[in-house]
Structures are given as structure tokens and as C-alpha cells.
């Protein structure tokens, strides 16, 4: 099964760690897994073998509200995922 997992952050905490662990566990069971990660300059998320990782850059915008940043982050990630072939399951 082809599984695409998206996470809002490349920082190794919270949701990003959950996404990484889920991706690694599914890959270990033989699934084709992609991890899509929003990254801000210099950030990265180390992932085990068998997981294709796609880093989607999100540049900081001075003075941007938290709500606007969340909207922009979601749109940026959606745009990146839209450009690739479909998956059987999307998890975000």
C-alpha cells in the first residue's frame, strides 16, 4: 500500500516524532511510505531506511500572524503533494 504522511514540522518533537515513527513502522511492514515535512531554514528530520522523505521549504515572513502562517503552511504543503502521483492513504 502507498502511504503519504504529512507533518507540519521537521523539529524532532511532538507530531513530527509521531509521523516519523509511524512512517518507519509502516515501511518496516513493507508499505511504500512517503513522509512530507514542512521545513524552515536549516531544520531537518532524520528518518530510517525505507521512507522517502520530501522536505517542503516554508520561508519565514516577518510580521505574519500565527493564523496566517498556519494557512500558508497548509497551502504550501498541499501544493507540493498535488504535484505527485496519488497515494492509497494520506495521513496528516
So what's the pLDDT on residue 43? 64
The CATH T-level fold of domain 2-91 is Rossmann fold (3.40.50)
Q: Kindly indicate the confidence band of residue 62, based on its pLDDT and cuts at 50, 70 and 90.
A: very high
User: Where do the domains of the chain lie?
Assistant: 2-91
- For residue 81, what is its C-alpha cell? 503533494
Q: pLDDT digits over 3-57, tens only?
A: 999 887 776 677 788 899 999 999 999 999 999 988 876 666 778 889 998 888 8
Residue 57: how many other CB atoms lie within 10 Å: 11
Which helix (H) or strand (E) is 39 found in, with range?
strand 32-39
Checking if the pLDDT of 69 tops 70, the result is yes
pTM for the full model?
0.81
So what's the pLDDT on residue 23? 95
- For residue 54, what is its C-alpha cell? 520530501
d(CA 58, CA 50): 25
**Average pLDDT estimate for 65-75:** 90
So what's the pLDDT on residue 14? 74
Amino acid at each position: 500500500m502507498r502511504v503519504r504522511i504529512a507533518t507540519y514540522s521537521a523539529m524532532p518533537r511532538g507530531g513530527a516524532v509521531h509521523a516519523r515513527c509511524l512512517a518507519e513502522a509502516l515501511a518496516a511492514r513493507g508499505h511504500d511510505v512517503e513522509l512530507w515535512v514542512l521545513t524552515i531554514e536549516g531544520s531537518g528530520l532524520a528518518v530510517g531506511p525505507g521512507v522517502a522523505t520530501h522536505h517542503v521549504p516554508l520561508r519565514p515572513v516577518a510580521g505574519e500572524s500565527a493564523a496566517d502562517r498556519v494557512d500558508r503552511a497548509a497551502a504550501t504543503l498541499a501544493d507540493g503533494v498535488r504535484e505527485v502521483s496519488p497515494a492509497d492513504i494520506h495521513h496528516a
